[in-house]
DNA sequence: CGGCCCTCGTTCAAATTTGAATCGAGTTTC
DNA sequence: GAAACTCGATTCAAATTTGAACGAGGGCCG
């Protein structure tokens, strides 16, 4: 660690592109969803996660983890979604402490309404911009990076 | 627009990887900077932008744009950085309305102290994880995507 | 059982972000 | 020359995020 290895021209280009694309994309997606159906991107993702589940329900902590969000942040958002009638809280049967978030019919409806526009935007702004090779490189490279970050190595090996 | 083209297996993989990597990386970088020098990632980036400028100064709006942030958000952060003595506001000479943010000596000092750890983390978590081909694909692909999003096409051609 | 530690979800205050409204100063238009 | 507009930056209230602390339960060892 004594010698900071700076980023090369190419590395810097990649890093900046990654940062910029992330920031811009998040902004656009938020905007698109807000305009079209009145959801934030985070809220949309919550609905997606629930919908992907067999019984359309998930434990709070599990959901928070899958979204890379804090538990308290999720508590807040679920409360919002509950007020909007898109999600319901339900006690967990086997674990008295547990709470499950369940997608309501209105929630599914909303998702069905929101998804096409969202996917179209993701396509237009990112997916369809990439060449097939770039797409695979992104899937493999960023996939590997996020996999490593998930495996609780809070500070990494050294 | 009538037929929503869903994402293929590969496309979905790329999109999820992109989302996950962005979220995780942001979290890690924020944490690392906070722990090591007490700055948020955004604040660090502000210092970097200023430092890259010939006279270590930039107009508020220009700075906000370069960070893909709102003007009011930047106003807040510059105020924080000013309290910390890392940045100073200065009236713009030629445009009476303008305000320039200027990096102070303490700001440069801070940057010098923060950069090595930050770069090391970026390397460890992303750059060094990618193969050379993936690196170039990310730089090119995401670079192109962010370029398109910048060119004020608020909704894209259709 | 009883103590001890861990987990689940929430609550709370503080920090940050957002977007609309505002203020002051240029610029344009007629 | 003045109303009308634009631009740069700030202000403000409301929404959201963060992280520490809390309340209730599990689970395990003695």
| CB of B42 lies under 7 Å from some atom of strand D | no
Query: What is the spatial distance, in angstroms and rounded to an integer, between the CA atom of B97 and the C1' atom of D8?
Result: 6
| CB of B144 lies under 7 Å from some atom of strand D | no
Q: Which residues contact A140 (CB under 8 A, 6 or more apart)?
A: B134
Q: What is the pLDDT confidence band of residue A153, given thresholds at 50, 70 and 90?
A: low
Q: Which residues contact B70 (CB under 8 A, 6 or more apart)?
A: B64
Contact B141, A131 (CB under 8 A): yes
| CB of B72 lies under 7 Å from some atom of strand C | yes
Q: What is the pLDDT confidence band of residue B153, given thresholds at 50, 70 and 90?
A: low
List the domains of chain A with CATH numbers: 27-114 (1.10.10.10)
Q: List pLDDT tens digits, range B71-106.
A: 999 999 999 999 999 999 999 888 888 999 999 999
| Chain-chain contact of A68 with B27 (C-beta, under 8 angstroms) | yes
Distance CA B91, CA B78 (A): 14
Instruction: Quote the pLDDT of residue A151.
Output: 75
Q: Which residues contact B149 (CB under 8 A, 6 or more apart)?
A: A21, A24, A25, A28, A125
Q: List pLDDT tens digits, range B33-78.
A: 999 999 999 999 999 999 999 999 999 999 999 999 999 999 999 9
Query: What is the spatial distance, in angstroms and rounded to an integer, between the CA atom of B30 and the C1' atom of C2?
Result: 43
């Amino acid at each position: 660690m004594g010698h900071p290895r700076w980023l090369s021209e190419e590395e810097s280009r990649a890093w900046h592109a990654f940062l910029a694309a992330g920031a811009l994309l998040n902004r656009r997606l938020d905007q698109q969803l807000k305009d079209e159906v009145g959801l934030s991107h985070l809220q949309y993702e919550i609905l997606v996660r629930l919908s992907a589940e067999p019984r359309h329900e998930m434990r709070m902590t599990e959901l928070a983890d899958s979204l890379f969000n804090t538990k308290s942040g999720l508590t807040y958002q679920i409360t919002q979604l509950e007020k909007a009638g898109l999600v319901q809280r339900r006690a967990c049967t086997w674990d008295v402490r547990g709470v499950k978030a369940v997608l309501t019919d209105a929630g599914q409806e909303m998702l069905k309404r929101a998804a096409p526009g969202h996917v179209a935007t993701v396509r237009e702004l990112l997916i369809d911009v990439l060449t097939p090779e770039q797409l695979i490189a992104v899937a493999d490279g960023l996939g590997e990076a996020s996999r490593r970050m998930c495996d609780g190595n809070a500070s990494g090996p050294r």
